[in-house]
Every structure is written in C-alpha cells, then in structure tokens.
Chains A and B, each alone.
Chain A
Amino acid sequence: MSKIKCAIIGPGNIGTDLLYKLLRSDVLEPVWMVGVDPTSAGLARARELGLKTTEEGVDGLVPHVLADGVQIAFDATSAYVHPENSRKLNELGVVMIDLTPAAIGPLCVPPVNLETHAENAVMNVNMVTCAGQATIPMVAAVSRVQPVDYAEIIATVASKSIGPGTRKNIDEFTRTTSGAVMSVGGAKQGKAIVVINPAEPPLMMRDTVYCETADEPDRDAITASVKAMIAEVQKYVPGYRLKNGPTFNGRQVSIFLEVEGLGDFLPIYAGNLDIMTAAGARTAEMFARKMLDGSFNPKMAEMA
C-alpha cells in the first residue's frame, strides 16, 4: 500500500516522539525533518533514521516539497512562527497539522470531531494542547449526555516533560485549553489549570475533569458515556486510564485520569507528550486515508 509523505517541523521532544510514531504508520511516511540549528540532536537523529533534514527552517523545505511529494506537514515549533510556516506550505497544497498553541485552524480532538474536519477537507487543523487532548474527550462525554454549564480541567505534568517554550508561554497553554473545553468539549464556560510537579522519580501525567451539569446529572448515562469515550481514546493512547470516578456531588461530576505514555522518545511518565503526538498522528492518518482513496485532493494555491 502506498503512503502519504510527511514533513516534521521542529526536531525537539514533540517532533522526535512524533517521528517514531510515524515510522510505524501504515499510511504515513516521514521524509523530512526541519530545524533551525545545525547542531540539533533531533536533526541528527532524524538523519540516522533515514530522513532528509534542513537547518534553514521551512524555507529550506519549500524548494523540495513538490519534488519529494510532501502532502502533510506537522508543526511542532511555536505559536509565533506557525502562521508563516502554515501559509508557505498551504500554498503548495500541503495540509498542516499544528501542534503549537497557535490555533489558526479549527481545533481537533480526534474522538470528538476529527471526522467532521476530515469531511470538510480543511488545510490546517490545530491539536489544542496536551491537557486539551487528555481532558476534552471527557467533557464531551458528559456534554453529549446532558448540557454542561461549566467544565474545569486540571492537568499535572512532570517537570521533566515540559519544555522551555511551554514554560515561557504558560498563559497561551491555559487560554487555548480553556477555549477548547468550551468550543470542542461543549461546555458553556471553561477553565483550565496547569501544575508542573518536579517530583523524582517523575510523576505520570494526571488530569482531572470537573463538569457542572445544568440539571441533576444522569449518573448511569454519564458513567457509561465516560467509559465508552475512554475506550475511544485508548485506540490511539493505550495508556489513557480512568483512575477514579466519575463521582457525583450535587451537579458536579468529577473524573480522575492518568495518562501513561508509550515511551517512544521520552519515558512513559510523559503521557502529555504521547497523547499530543498520538492525536496528531491519528489526525494525519485520517487525512491520509482520504487522500489515498481520492476523496481529498488538496491543491496548490495557484491551481485551486
């Protein structure tokens, strides 16, 4: 079976973890890794794994896109450079999977709305944040049963799993996540809190979801919906687990989760990294299948 060729922009933790996942894919083939630092360990690793690399950023990739048949690109850089990266590659008909908090395209949480985005053939989808990927499926699992007035998520991640970019821009992380709790999760109001814990040995990623339903919660229906959604996420993140709950206290529903990573690049405690790259890969695979069966044909800007 032929595969869709992909480029990864950003050879850091996310980009490298993603690379390992793409190498296992039936429908995706990573061919380029794009960086800005010639001494980057991530670029060297990608070269060892047989990818072409450039240290000239997206401008170093652009001249090769058509010749090498790149159709999907993942951006694992930063919210600041993503809009330009996306514009340059979209012009060449490359679909962008955005793993930064830039969120210029529609927000994608695979078990909630991936099919819709794939049917609409969008050219840029944003993967929200790791906290969003871990918690929004649960908000949606409650809101598909009955209206949710307010949802609040608390994500705790190991200090070693959070890079300098996220630390410097922690506000973007919480703002993008709380926005998606509403727009994708279906809560009327949303709030996101992030805690970075330095414990040694590092703690597994933990996520808590609180929902306040408009009326008395339907306990049985919500419990069943939550368990069904857990199984959906487990299809691409096997270490996604319901640790406790759902518990009910008045209108408040509490759901306690743990995310264990696959350990592709960072150790298994970094479930936050794993769920982000797994969601990105799953999204790209859905687009790739549609490209392969001919139902999605992204074109260059001039030709469209």
Chain B
Amino acid sequence: MALEDQVRGRKVKLHDMCLRDGMHSMRHQISLEQMIAVSTGLDAAGVPLIQVTHGDGLGGSSLNYGRGLHSDQEYISAVASRMKNATVSVLHVPGIGTLDELRMAADCGAGCVHVASHCTEADVTEQHIGLGRKLGMDTVGFLMMAHMTDVEMLVSQALLMESYGATTVYCVDSAGYMLPADVTARVSAMRAVLKPETEIGFHGHHNLAMGVSNSLAAIAAGANRIDGSAAGFGAGAGNTPLEVFAAVAERMGIETGIDVFKLMDVAEDSVLPMMAKPPRADRDSLTLGYAGVYSTFLYNAKDCERRYGLPARDLLMELGRLKMIGGQEDMIEDTALTMAKARGLIAADA
C-alpha cells in the first residue's frame, strides 16, 4: 500500500521541542521573553504540546551539560501561566533529574512528562513514571538512542515502561541515524505488542535530513505522536522541522489541528531570529547521523576543536566507536584530551 494511503485520515498529535531540544542550539541561554513569545505563538497556531526545560531536562543545568540562563522553575512557570490550549511538557532523565524536580514541574503547571532512559535501561524509570502518573500528568516513556539496540530489546523495554504506567511510549532517534525502514521495523513491532490504548510516539533528528520521512514512516507503522521543532531548533542538525512536517501532513491528509501558516510565522519571526547560525547539517552534524552519535555532543565537540585543535569530526567518530551514550558529555573532553595527547597537539602530562 502506498504511504499516502497508510496515513490519510490519521489523527496525529504534534509536540514542539524548540524550547527544550532547541536549548542545545542556544547553549541553554533562551530568555524568558523569547520563551514566552515562541510558546504563545505555538499555542495560537494550535500546537497541542510544548516542551520546556533545560536541554537535558529537569535538573540538567550543570557544568557537564551547561548552565541554563534561568531555572526550569522560572521557564515552566512563565510559559504555563500563558497557555490557552497547549499543555506544557517537560523532559525528565532519571540519573540527572530527581523526583523532587518532577514534583516542582507539576506544581509549576507542567501537564506532560517525557521520562527518558537509554533504549536498554528502562528499568531506571519505574519510580519516575509512577510519580508522573500519580501527579496526574500525561506520562510518556522515552527510549533514547533507539538505533543502538535491536527491535526485540526495544520492544521489551517499551513493555517495561508500559507496565510502570506510561500511557505513551516513544521510539527516539537521538542520533538522527535511522532510515525509514529502521523506524518502520521498530514502531510496528512496538505497535504489535503494546496495549491498543497505549500511544506510540516518534522523535526524530535531522542530521541526515530524514526527520520528515522518518516521521511519516512512524505514522504509517502506528505512531500517533510526532515530535518536531519550529525552525528545526534542536541538538545536532536540529529536530524534525515542525512547520515543514505540518505542511506535509496537511497535504497528505493527516489531521494535526495545526494552522500551518501561523506555525510558519512563529518559526520565521520568533524562533529563527534567536540564532545567528541556526542548526544545519554541517560536516559535524552530518557525522552524528552518519555514525550514530548522540546529537547533543555536537557543541561540546566543536568547543574541543577550538581548545585543542582536534577536528570535531574525528572526535565524534571516536565517541561513536567508544559507544558513548546520552549523558556522557564529560567523556567528550576526556576523549579529546586523550586524542590530543596521542597526536602531539598538547603535552602528555596536561
């Protein structure tokens, strides 16, 4: 069956990431004024879910991941009080954020949480998914770097999250590595075993410019939540550009409830002016997608290139070879130091 026939008439919920994943592009320095302008614009365009936190989620503000300009509490409060229809969501990674921070987010008005783990480690999310449900939040299990494991393992982890109480489970292409067939295999296998009422989501990165195609493949395989980002703001070469996806969805008869022109205007007038050099598939971002490396590593690798004279692309390839996963940003400088010493770029005792 043609793709168009598989997706026509489907109802899909779009979830904007530009104020959370886009924090990486902005080195976590988005101002409250910018947050409010973008989020109220997205709300008016009919985007039902808007994610707001530090790029690494609640509690992410740190030396390892970069300090936020404002606290999560300030960001969530500023946005939640101004939403007419949209629900504010947060990212929460057990091991980085704590249960107290999740309670704070709910108190500030967040109504949805993505509880994230690496694709094979879902059993660290039990307490956090449980608390999300207890707080009455739309609770989502978020399996990151899903290309790094096989379909069978991913499905077993999705079932664990469902058993903890997640009402939606995501296949997350954190590295922007997947091709449509990878997405189809994973999402359809999840759809086959999860309860019919459990929703499935897909979160794509655009390092190989496959964000839109992969999201369509996910919908065809049974997903009904799609993450994207206005103007594509996000880690690596950015997320699936949401306004592009919304336009494609409309052409293909997928119902999203989005006002496409209003969303284009938010992307063009509010999001793009925030950055002098918006994310694109430059050679380093492309390397992330090509080699399957965590998209968030991009800027730290570029920093190391400036500091040690080591090409970011070489460093990213090595991090991929070492199987580093999301959260291990500390290993970027460590690996750069080891490589720079071996290449004689810095003294051996540095």
Looking at the complex, which of A41-49, A205-213, A291-299 is the stretch in contact with chain B?
A205-213
Whether the Cβ atoms of A196 and B330 lie closer than 8 Å is no
Contacts of A199 in B (CB 8 A): 322-323, 325
Whether the Cβ atoms of A244 and B338 lie closer than 8 Å is yes
Interface membership of B127, Cβ < 8 A: yes
Smallest CB-CB separation from A245: which chain B residue?
Answer: B337
Interface residues contributed by chain A, number (CB under 8 Å) = 33
Looking at the complex, which of A24-32, A74-82, A83-91, A165-173 is the stretch in contact with chain B?
A165-173
Interface membership of B68, Cβ < 8 A: no
Whether the Cβ atoms of A212 and B63 lie closer than 8 Å is yes
Out of B95, B149, B323, name the residue touching A170 (CB < 8 Å).
B95
Interface residues contributed by chain B, number (CB under 8 Å) = 31
Whether the Cβ atoms of A167 and B333 lie closer than 8 Å is no
- Given A159-B120, A174-B95, residue A208 in contact with residue B334 (CB < 8 A): yes
Whether the Cβ atoms of A167 and B124 lie closer than 8 Å is yes
Whether the Cβ atoms of A195 and B63 lie closer than 8 Å is no
Interface membership of B118, Cβ < 8 A: yes
Question: When chains A and B are docked, how far (Å) is the Cα of A210 from the Cα of B123?
Answer: 28
Question: When chains A and B are docked, how far (Å) is the Cα of A159 from the Cα of B325?
Answer: 12
Minimum C-beta distance from B130 to chain A (A) = 10
Out of B123, B126, B325, name the residue touching A195 (CB < 8 Å).
B325
Interface membership of A197, Cβ < 8 A: yes
Whether the Cβ atoms of B95 and A168 lie closer than 8 Å is no
Out of B123, B337, B338, name the residue touching A167 (CB < 8 Å).
B123
Out of A164, A193, A206, A254, name the residue touching B62 (CB < 8 Å).
A193
Whether the Cβ atoms of B327 and A193 lie closer than 8 Å is yes
Whether the Cβ atoms of B337 and A247 lie closer than 8 Å is yes
Smallest CB-CB separation from B60: which chain A residue?
Answer: A193
- Given A197-B325, A198-B118, residue A169 in contact with residue B95 (CB < 8 A): no
Contacts of A197 in B (CB 8 A): 118, 323-325, 328
Interface membership of B121, Cβ < 8 A: yes
Interface membership of A256, Cβ < 8 A: yes
Whether the Cβ atoms of B127 and A170 lie closer than 8 Å is yes
Chain A interface mostly helix, strand, loop or mixed? strand
Interface membership of B98, Cβ < 8 A: yes
Minimum C-beta distance from B58 to chain A (A) = 12
Contacts of B333 in A (CB 8 A): 244, 247, 254, 256
Which residues, 210 to 266 on B, are CB-close (under 8 Å) to A? none
- Given A154-B64, A171-B127, residue A195 in contact with residue B95 (CB < 8 A): yes
Out of B94, B98, B323, B337, name the residue touching A244 (CB < 8 Å).
B337
Question: When chains A and B are docked, how far (Å) is the Cα of A110 from the Cα of B126?
Answer: 33
A155-183 to B contact mask, C-beta < 8 Å, 1/0: 01001000010011111001100000000
- Given A208-B330, A245-B337, residue A171 in contact with residue B63 (CB < 8 A): no
Smallest CB-CB separation from B324: which chain A residue?
Answer: A197
Whether the Cβ atoms of B124 and A152 lie closer than 8 Å is no
Whether the Cβ atoms of A195 and B328 lie closer than 8 Å is yes
Question: When chains A and B are docked, how far (Å) is the Cα of A195 from the Cα of B329?
Answer: 10
Question: When chains A and B are docked, how far (Å) is the Cα of A164 from the Cα of B62?
Answer: 27
Could you list some 18 contacts between A and B, CB below 8 A? A150-B63, A156-B330, A156-B331, A159-B120, A159-B121, A167-B126, A168-B126, A170-B124, A171-B98, A171-B99, A174-B98, A195-B326, A197-B118, A197-B324, A197-B325, A206-B330, A243-B338, A244-B350
Beyond A193-B62, A197-B324, 6 additional pairs, beta carbon < 8 A: A156-B328, A167-B124, A170-B94, A196-B121, A203-B322, A244-B338
Query: What is the interface of chain A, defined by CB distance below 8 A to chain B?
Result: 150, 152, 154, 156, 159, 164, 167-171, 174-175, 191, 193-199, 203, 206, 208, 210, 212, 243-245, 247, 252, 254, 256
